[in-house]
Structure 1
Amino acid sequence: MKQQIAIKTAVVIGNTITLECSPADCDKARAVIDEGKPLAAVIGTASQKRSLSANAYAWTLMNQLAAKINRPVLDIYRDLIRDIGGSSALVTLRADAAKAFKNGWESKGDGWQVHKLDEMTTPQGTFYNLQCWYGSSQFNPSQMHRLIELIVQECQQQGIPTMTPEEISKLKGLTDDADPQ
């Protein structure tokens, strides 16, 4: 069993590390320890996730835009996802594995997309180069801020009212000085 926990504080004394976490996270860790199997740990810094208020605002605007231009909201969303830097990966796969890969990738959410860039035939078989976009659920605050900026630009071109840049910057999770509540 594997569990992920949030660490409130960590103290290192010699070769001993003491971690403080929430009661729920302690219960998760205890369940793994109680299995009696050898343990391994990975530790890293926690990254700030985008906020639900920013996400809700993005979807509110995209729905208004979709109604105004008579276009499916998911088409708008998927197009805008592709304009966010750092939101894709390039993958090379055997052609016979590409369909299963695409189905698995795109099943992760509405924004998760795979596009074939090109095809290479080699003595070992045919291979596809694929560009794979992550959905906004994986975006960091900077990427989410950029997505909202793009949506706002599209809405303003259609005369749809939007928040001011100052109001947008106060959405939870979009900037370092945003309200942490």
Structure 2
Amino acid sequence: MRLIADAPRASVDMLTGDAVLSFRIAPESKRMLNELKSLGDSKLAVDVKKYRPKRSLDANAYLWVLCDKIAAALDSTKELVYIELVRRVGKFAVVAVRDWDADEIIHGWSCRGLGWFAEIIDGCKIDGCVRVMFFYGSSTYDTEEMSRLIDEAVFEAKELGIDTATPDEIALMKERWNDEKQTNKGA
């Protein structure tokens, strides 16, 4: 079960001395209360981390506009520009893979979509294995990750003399991400 919560509070139970954490959840998440109650006094594994909303569709559309303009300036394709941007600043994981399985695993990974690609890199210290860098497509990015990708596209566009959104317009897009975060609470 995954919940989006706010108003975290930490306190100490005066009777037992135990630390107590509490959170406020959105009304639409309250259906999960029965599920929690059904667990009784079971021990739970709880992972608390800062919430980051998915990136906005406006941000995604803007990224593709920039990719298209950069591609035109470089006599390339927007898809190749996008892949290069993901390669430079995108989210990735490095995994040791048995060398005889690497090609098949890389192919399977790349079938997920355009930004999902993988490359064999040097330096695996495990016999019979290679290191593979697996890149994630931007559809999985949160606001911070998408912001980094757009900033890189803006930088590349400016280097090529391409007009981009003004800093105020980019700030407004990022503000919309924050508004979206508030709207999606409890999602």
Give the TM-score taking structure 2 as reference length.
Answer: 0.69
Contact 1:61 1:152 in 2 (8 A): yes
Contact 1:50 1:173 in 2 (8 A): no
Q: Residues of 2 paired with 1:135 and 1:173: CA distance? A: 23
Greater helix fraction, Structure 1 or Structure 2: 2
Q: Are 1:22 and 2:26 matched, yes or no? A: yes
Decide whether aligned partners of structure 1 residues 6 and 134 sit closer, same or farther in structure 2, where only a CA change above 3 A counts: same
Aligned position for 1:81: 86
Runs of 4+ in structure 1 over 6 Å off:
119-122
Aligned position for 2:150: 148
Aligned position for 1:72: 77
Where structure 2 has 5 or more consecutive residues not aligned to the other structure, the ranges are 181-187
**Does 58-67 or 20-29 show the bigger shift?**
58-67
Q: Residues of 1 paired with 2:178 and 2:5: CA distance? A: 22
Contact 2:66 2:153 in 1 (8 A): yes
**Structure 1 counterpart of 2:62, from 57, 63, 88:** 57
Any idea what the Cα deviations from partners look like across 1:80-105, whole Å, max 9, x if unmatched?
A: 111117x3332211123323432443
Tell me by how many angstroms 1:17 deviates. Answer: 4.3
Contact 2:118 2:135 in 1 (8 A): yes
Aligned position for 2:5: 7
- What is the alpha-carbon root mean square deviation over aligned residues? 3.5
Give the TM-score taking structure 1 as reference length.
Answer: 0.71
Amino acid at match of 1:115: E
Contact 2:7 2:23 in 1 (8 A): yes
Aligned residues: 173
Decide whether aligned partners of structure 1 residues 179 and 10 sit closer, same or farther in structure 2, where only a CA change above 3 A counts: closer
Any idea what the Cα deviations from partners look like across 1:50-70, whole Å, max 9, x if unmatched?
A: 531322211222234445655
Q: Residues of 2 paired with 1:62 and 1:134: CA distance? A: 17
Matches within 5 A, 1:1-181: 3-11=1-9, 12-14=11-13, 15=18, 16-31=20-35, 33-34=37-38, 38=42, 40-49=44-53, 51-52=55-56, 53-66=58-71, 69-84=74-89, 87-118=91-122, 126-156=128-158, 159-172=161-174, 180=179
Tell me by how many angstroms 1:158 deviates. Answer: 5.0
Amino acid at match of 2:85: L
Any idea what the Cα deviations from partners look like across 1:89-124, whole Å, max 9, x if unmatched?
A: 3221112332343244334442222101248798x6
Where structure 1 has 5 or more consecutive residues not aligned to the other structure, the ranges are none
Aligned to 2:129, the other structure's residue is in SS state strand
Tell me by how many angstroms 1:4 deviates. Answer: 0.4
